[in-house]
Structure 1
């Protein structure tokens, strides 16, 4: 059992290579509020408590002036230097010097001393007052221990002599001019307990003594978490490591440490010491069970292949999942949709021979090299190449990345035998990567695939789950309109279950859960190992999705759209005046109203009827008999002009009351407008 010491003194002299050490609090009760903030939990050191020190971290250095008793703290990176103060106490033998001082020239300096009296060694006489520097220890052939020392003579000539450790005399340490940094002082057990002066003050400065302030990481008996407290606490401790070697302290493990345990450690019972704080990554049911103090069964830990998947944005918003490779549902591939040529390029780089169908018209823009596309055209992606784009006014050509595709248009049955026309219907076109468009993938199969079969091909893929995984109580993927399998990744998973349902397991992703557990000696909740049902689908949050992509992937930016060509001065249209612009807008609005007054469903399908002959303009149109009735029954009074409705008068009045200085043209169209409407 060690001697009773203050905690500060014990930690200052402790060799960190000897950790862990078990200490017993022998006097006093220490209770301080600031300790709660350091460790996050209550810390109370009472008489009789056992503390297992597992780590030390230097926080600062306490500096005390011996003359005044004032003390202050210096940071560990302090750049000043201090000179060592030689001690006044004499050494009586060389053996005493060797036992208290380091042997050899090291980074922290060597020990230099003088002898006040004359020494006789065999036939050699060493005069008094000569400075000797201790170099090393040696053992003679007869077993005698000797100290090799260096002596500096006249003209700085040096010589080495061997002094027996039993040599007696009155030896004193010599004052050295060497300056020591704070880091050197704290790293040497010899220097850390000596007195110093500030080198800037020389002999007039106050005597200083340094003591390190450590943050102690320790495990307390009957506590389940690591506590941290400073070494400056005023308590007395005693080293009882030898007496309590067999004492079991509960050791907390992080998820990473659990995953690093050997396979023979599983299965085992564990208790959650600190549950994950907040729900930032998971939307699954098992996450709510990870509460502090909850017992869990840890079955195994192994790297697992996972698939990141997402759904299109729907009524519930986008959903995100990580799916294990052991998922047992069946899926059908869905045609992917692409909104630009760049998306086609990315997909074709992963799926060579990609075929798509155009779903929306695209007009030709000759200046930018964009060809016209029509609905129904079939495109097969061939390759990517650099092509010349039309130059600007200076005539300099520009290189643009283009996707070369084979375009196929659907031909009529009559023309299927015409080889020349068929060749004309198949051509290669160049689509710039910056071009927007609307395409849908052409699929040729309707098979049901396993997940392992799909991920063996290139991703991403759009699928739909058509058969649920029967090993799951509720398959969250069943019923989703679509699912995009984005990419695969490998994650360390700890297979876990609750003691109440030990056969229903879920996987804890090690990298995404910040929690601590401790292994317990409780018995497993079964007599024979049950057949395990593993939850292979875990719903995650949008936060998880984006944090994952920050860690493991880099998104390529699409190519920039080239600048628009500047038209020449002759092509610049004349800007209309304010009044002309307003008049043009009004004409466009009235013309649009007239266009919307087409009869039936014939708008845009056929040309308007020719005007009637001039001699019939004043006569009403002839009346045609209804089908299935006689001419007499179909006779009715012809349509006559009616008064304008109130709405039309109001609109006309509103136009006339305006402050515009142009002439309204609505009057020119009012009568045809009303007669046609009624």
Structure 2
């Protein structure tokens, strides 16, 4: 009888389920390892004779398998995938009714099963010899008549017959091994099965009979301890059930934050004691978290549900920060333009905010084979909708490819003197382009809104995520951690059940504990509140709580809607892509062509200036060596000037052949077109001067600036 019979702890716990808890047990005797103290998971568990234990929960951990032939034990996890067969009992059954009633599971689900009789059985004119196997097919019950068992008997040459045997038949009946198999989960969920012996059906494992016993993790509290105990049910302790006798014993009731939140409003405010603090690796980075230690006290003021916003700092910062902000935050925000690094990001943002306008922040060259258009810095685009576009290149199967693309309009820059006609003209000149969703690009949102918003208004008027900046701080906070960031991103909004709490030494400084993100156990105490009766102080609630990146990732994981990843670029057909590398014949509007031409003229220097400019980072190639004649030695390149400088310098030829004015002008043009690097210095001898008629020549003065440029070009070219 309960309360009078001592049972081993494991046997008693195995007979329980969570529906009959809590149960109060009293330790009466047992074998204690390491004295009377168990150290389990870093906490000491001390059981002495007479201790009261209040079991508040059990959880199945594993199964203990004991080999009854040698008393060896080993454990298997509850999710073990192996199968087991029931080992027939060695003791005979005295009646068929006893054998049927002790089947491992319900009779209907355990049929058919086979048994044998060690003695002859007579049924009217029919006699069944000893040792014959009978298979029970069903139970025949008729009102006013004796219950019968319908059995199948197999004879010689596969002959079979059915016989009806009364349940009250006596003799020595032995159960035969059944072909039915069970998993550990099925065995542990049936009280009848747990009382049987089993063996593995896998021949490579132990074939000897095993006794299977469940091992639970027991959660309990003791009247002399305040924290929750967790210990395995396999402790060798004998206990007695004293639940009915100890109803008035005062046990400390540990409550989780969720259970505290469900308490009636009349329970608050109250002083509570922390029985089990939060985990070391917490999701919060706030000032009050390190003070939530075991045995510390808190004042719980009230419970409720708070609307909160999750903010993140820019990714460009060295350490990215995240903040959980109450919508009661008193600062003011101004919208900031969002940045997008792909067309797919534009597509996602345009679904949430139709009519999105962006400006291109990085040039992008046209790739006709992949359908990528030409984009220039400063161009403004308005997103229209998502459509399918056909690519000029063919797939490997020779078929035309179509991809999803974003239809956008290029917005023309307004002129200074716009009028109605100019606006109509600009509307007509808007160019539509397709941006494939797989295209990489750099865009920034175009905003015309300069209004200040409260945090709760931003969530109502705009879709998230949203980039903002705090332009006026919350004056009720001593230090506003959000003020000073150049940009913050609103990642999402949430409704969180919270408990408003404070420490007894500063009861007016309150903070909100999100109970779904913080796990700890507390107990209500009878300590007085830390203020005069009926005179609560004016409370100031922290509205900004810094959280870790783990909190952010868990939040994103919960809000994951299963969106498809960005599309991949189409596969190119190499043969067609090679043949398609031709000048683009796509006709563009004249305004676009003029704009591109103007950029090219502005960015590319003139050819003459390019030839005269010899930059150290990008030098032109050296001129080819002059043709070498057979009767002349190869020319020697002039050396760079050293510390010893000779007085003789090579001068360019200053004689120019006098011809008619037309020929002279042509030679001047040719001289200007000769590259500087091909000009060589030459000194004529006296003979050369004598052979030239003075009447046919004229002297011209060469500009000294040009001489200096020529000399420097020669030296740089030789040095190169």
Give the TM-score, by structure 1 length.
0.69
Aligned to 1:409: 413
The match for 1:399 among 388, 398, 402 is 402
Residues 85-106 of structure 1, C-alpha deviations (whole Å, 9 max, x = no match):
3647979xx9x99999999846
Partner of 2:319: 317
Residue of structure 2 equivalent to 1:513: 518
In structure 2, relative to structure 1, the CA distance for the partners of 1:16 and 1:297 (3 Å cut) is closer
Mapping 1:247-266, distance limit 5 Å: 247-261=249-263, 265-266=267-268
Unaligned runs of 5+ in 1: 119-123, 141-145, 164-169, 573-586, 597-609, 622-639, 649-663, 674-678
Which residue number in structure 1 is paired with residue 547 of structure 2? 540
Q: Contact 2:86/2:197 (CA < 8 Å) preserved in 1? A: no
Residue correspondence of structure 1 range 21-40 to structure 2 within 5 A: 21-28=23-30, 30-32=32-34, 38-40=40-42
Cα deviation, 1:2-57, whole Å, max 9, x if unaligned, reads 22334345445557754332221122462459996754411122111112233252
CA distance in structure 2 between the partners assigned to 1:422 and 1:43 by the alignment: 86
Q: Which of 306, 309, 330 lines up with 2:308 in the alignment?
A: 306
Shift in Å at residue 427 of structure 1? 0.8
Distance 1:103 1:137 in 2: 20
27-36 vs 243-252, which moves further: 27-36
Deviation at 1:135, TM superposition (A): 7.5
1:383 aligns with 2:385: yes
Match for 2:6 among 4, 9, 18?
4
Aligned counterparts of 2:513 and 2:280: Cα–Cα separation in 1: 16
Q: Are the aligned partners of 2:504 and 2:530 in contact in 1 as well (CA < 8 Å)?
A: yes
2:336 equivalent in structure 1: 334
Q: Which is worse superposed, 255-264 or 99-108? A: 99-108
Aligned counterpart, 2:447: 443
Q: Distance in 2 between matches of 1:347 and 1:113?
A: 77
Q: Structure 2: how far apart are the matches of 1:531 and 1:283?
A: 26
Give yes or no for contact 2:299–2:501 (8 Å, CA) kept in 1. Answer: yes
RMSD (Å), alpha carbons:
5.3
Question: What is the aligned partner in structure 2 of residue 158 from structure 1?
Answer: 164
Structure 2 distance, partners of 1:198, 1:309, is 57
Query: Number of aligned pairs?
Result: 579
Match of residue 422, structure 1, among 398, 420, 425: 425
Contact preservation (8 Å) 1:219, 1:249: no
Contact 1:590–1:666 (CA under 8 A) maintained in structure 2: no
Residues in 1 aligned to 2:196 and 2:369: alpha-carbon distance in whole angstroms: 84
- Cα pair distance change 1:101/1:243, threshold 3 Å: farther
- Partner of 2:350, secondary structure, is helix
**By how many angstroms is 1:244 displaced?**
0.7
CA distance in 1, matches of 2:231, 2:304: 36
Alpha-carbon separation, structure 1, partners of 2:440 and 2:282 = 36
Q: Distance in 1 between matches of 2:198 and 2:172?
A: 14
Shift in CA distance, 106/18, structure 1 to aligned 2, threshold 3 Å = farther
- Aligned residues of 1:404 and 1:431 also touching (Cα < 8 A): yes
Give the secondary-structure state (helix, strand or coil) at the position aligned to 2:174: coil
Q: CA deviation at 1:455?
A: 0.6
Q: Does 1:480 align with 2:481?
A: no
What's the CA shift for 1:217?
A: 0.5
Unmatched runs of 5 consecutive residues or more in structure 2 = 154-160, 584-609, 620-671, 674-697
Alignment of 1:162-561 (within 5 A): 174-179=173-178, 189=191, 192=194, 210=211, 212-221=213-222, 222-261=224-263, 265-313=267-315, 317-365=319-367, 368-391=370-393, 397-400=400-403, 401-413=405-417, 419=422, 422-423=425-426, 426-433=429-436, 434-456=438-460, 457-526=462-531, 527-528=533-534, 530-553=537-560, 554=562, 557-561=565-569
Match of 1:19 in 2: 21
Q: Structure 1, residues 269-291: CA drift from partner, whole Å, max 9, x if none? A: 33223323334532221222222
- Distance change >3 Å, CA 264–CA 187, structure 1 → 2: same
- Which shifted more, 81-90 or 96-105? 96-105
In structure 1, the partner of 2:700 is: 615
Change in 2 beyond 3 A, CA 1:260/1:175:
farther
CA contact (8 A) 2:370 2:393 kept: no
